[in-house]
Homo-oligomer: A and B are copies of this chain.
Amino acid sequence: MDVARYLNECRDLVLQQITETIPKTSRYRPVLYDLVLDYPMREGKALRPALCVAACRALGGRLEAVLPSAMVLELYHNAFLIHDDVEDGSEQRRGAATLHRTHGVPVAVNVGDAMLAMTLEPLLDNIRVVGLGKALRILRTIARMARESAEGQALELDWIRRDRWDLDDTDYVRMVYKKTGWYTFMAPLLVGATAAGASAEHLGELRNFGAVLGVAFQIQDDVLNLTSDEGGYGKEIGGDLWEGKRTLILMHALRQASPAERDEAIAALARRRVAVEANGSSSHDFAGAKTARDVEMVRSLIERRASIAYARSVGMRWAHRAAVLLERTRGWLEPSVHRAFLESIVEFVIARDR
């Protein structure tokens, strides 16, 4: 099973769909739609549309039945990336400057909103593609996904904003289930399977599989954020430490630290990357800003406590659980290249380097 090839084929199909959705001669092309295409055209994995296509086709559904929905998931993903990059103050995305760095926060927020706005018409056109019942169930799934993602994001932003560290691995898993799991795995699998006409019972099994795999995926994402080489990963290495993200890695290091180390690390993490609100009023003074030395200190603590190895082992346990859940679908999800893709993706999630 060539995972990369399957991903690439889905990516090409979905990019073509997005391009066709955009009005060709619109006067809003230079001011809006060229920017809408920016992130999707960068080297992304297109994991979400591929999962959606695979779930549909593994169940005997047609490619045409699922492509518009797969495109919508990719639009949502890229809209979230743009807004997340603004929210996290991220500098790089897919190997280039983030949209708000190049075009400013105002334009970036609006481009994200435009992409969200662009999702509704294809989901309504879906009625002609998959029929009314399926189209409405897909709309329901997307609605749930959008809400879950916003709740998960709210939780994470709140932890950072309030300097909350009274958290354990369960809190992390709950946040990730909502922030990552819903829109990266559960919704794509559910939408694809719905397009193919899966039963409620089978949808439930796929959903559990996706929820568990989502945790493994996010843990590996956190690991990559600290261990990747810049070129392949596409984001700023160590960005999570700059942004104050609560990860299994960091929470493990803080648990294992001496009280003095812990206090020092938490003080460093509480400092913010120099950032001023868009209206010009700085919410923190530059003198108290987080420095490269702060980040280096925390990184060194993580190394001394072998916290990356800890997170890797937890991630592998989640991936193993996902593999078991997928194995259980064997009774109704017959062997095919599409099922093989889903099986390989479990491996890919923890072995990937980007």
Residues of A within 8 A of B (CB): 28, 30-32, 83, 86-91, 98, 100-101, 103-107, 109-114, 116-118, 120-121, 124, 127, 132, 136, 139-140, 142-144, 146-147, 149-151, 153-155, 157-158, 161, 273-283, 289
Contact = CB atoms under 8 A, between A and B. Distances in A.
A139 B155 contact: no
Given A28-B155, A100-B277, A276-B280, A124 B143 contact: yes
B120 A105 contact: no
B86 A278 contact: yes
Contact of A110 (B150, B274, B278): B150
A287 B109 CA distance: 26
Q: Number of copies of this chain in the oligomer?
A: 2
B124 A280 contact: no
Contacts of A101: 277, 279, 281
Contact of A32 (B98, B150, B279): B150
B136 A120 contact: no
A90 B112 CA distance: 19
Contacts of A139: 120, 124
A86 B106 contact: yes
* 8 nearest A-B residue pairs (beta carbon): A117-B146, A114-B150, A87-B106, A120-B143, A276-B276, A32-B154, A274-B280, A31-B158
Contacts of A110: 83, 87, 150, 153-154, 157
Given A31-B157, A127-B136, 9 more contacts: A87-B110, A91-B281, A104-B283, A105-B277, A106-B157, A112-B113, A117-B146, A117-B150, A132-B132
